[in-house]
Structure 1
Amino acid sequence: MYELKTESAFDSAHFLTDYYGKCENLHGHRWRVVAYIGADALQTESTMKDMVMDFGVFKRCVRALAEELDHTFLIEEGSLAPQTLACLEQEGFSLTLLPFRTTAENLARYFFERMEAEGLRPSCVEMYETPNNCAIYRPA
């Protein structure tokens, strides 16, 4: 199998609902995403002959996904009262509501699924919330 790898990063705030420790409080991370795409064989035609895919296309996709979450407050849907959300929006904060708990594990899966939706064939996504700690998502 052939694989390509690219990286991107984004800064965002979040908190973990129903968590009993420091991470239940609002805090931020410099998230680092490392994405891999794979292919059993190289392409055989056109400008991508003998490639998995064009690195530029791959990099742009991963960077665009990271940019969507950069400098925003990642919020699990239903974790804040509607009045709180309204106040944050009224103050002009950038909010991203997500249908899952905003753990590194779920963000890795989110990137994987978004890459698939963009037509890429991801094999694995690593999501670092600190330089030494990451969650990895790959389908079973």
Structure 2
Amino acid sequence: MSLMHVTRRLEIDAGHRIMLHGSKCRHLHGHRYAIEATVCSPQAELHQSGEQAGMVLDFGFLKQEMTACIDQPCDHGFMASLADLDVLRMFAPPAQAFDPWLAGVRQQVERDGYLATTDCRVGSKLYVVPFHPTAEELARHWFQRLQPRVLERSHGLAHLDRVRVWETPNCWAEYTGDGVLSSAG
């Protein structure tokens, strides 16, 4: 079977910690993440007309979706696990009691799979997820967020094939989809 792949890369700077890690990653630290999203068209089919003629998915459209799902909520922010109460206490708004604030955070994470907010101490960006923010988990999470957007922006022609998250220049994790063209709904 012939396939056509296109890939877009986006870089962000963000902090995190892996609270249960047995080594130095349990400390607060940051990375220059590089995120690659690869889109695939089965049978190497390309758009035949319109503004995407001759394309699987316009690189600009893919950039817009990656910016909305990854860059805007996470760049120059901190990614925290919902279970990391010590870190969440550091970010909690000083004018609010922690427990009610945390309950609201938990409710949104359970509903949407994440919370992106600046309603926290010193207005910092905070991205709360229901998992430890490892490269592996982030690759899966961003894949799940991007997948329906890619399908919509390609008018059903293409699907998200993989998301690769580079945590350092030497280390990356990749999550691949099952190749099924479907949308969340």
In the superposition, the TM-score normalised over structure 1's length comes to: 0.89
Higher-RCO chain (CA-CA 8 Å, sequence separation at least 6) = 1
Structure 1 equivalent of residue 83 of structure 2: 78
Q: Take 2:177 and 2:150, find their aligned partners in 1: how far apart are those partners? A: 16
Deviations 1:80-117 (A, max 9, x none): 14644426723333211111110000111111111113
Q: Which residue of 2 aligns with 1:134?
A: 172
Percent sequence identity over aligned pairs:
31
Segments ≥4 residues shifted beyond 6 Å: none
Distance change (3 Å), C-alpha of 1:93 and 1:53: closer
**Which region of structure 1 is more displaced relative to structure 2, 122-131 or 59-68?**
59-68
Structure number, greater radius of gyration = 2
CA contact (8 A) 2:135 2:166 kept: yes
Higher helix fraction (1 or 2) = 2
Unaligned runs of 5+ in 1: none
Q: CA deviation at 1:122?
A: 0.9
* Map 1:32-47 → 2, pairs under 5 A: 32-40=34-42, 41-47=45-51
Correspondence for 1:49 among 44, 53, 57: 53
Contact 1:10 1:67 in 2 (8 A): no
- The one of 141, 157, 161 equivalent to 1:123 is 161
- Name the stretch that deviates more: 17-26 or 93-102: 93-102
Q: Does 1:14 align with 2:16?
A: yes
Q: TM-score, normalised by structure 2?
A: 0.69
Q: Distance in 2 between matches of 1:93 and 1:118?
A: 27
How far apart, in 1, do the equivalents of 2:89 and 2:6 lie?
Answer: 45
Correspondence 1:94 to 2:96: no
Deviates more, 1:97-106 or 1:117-126: 117-126
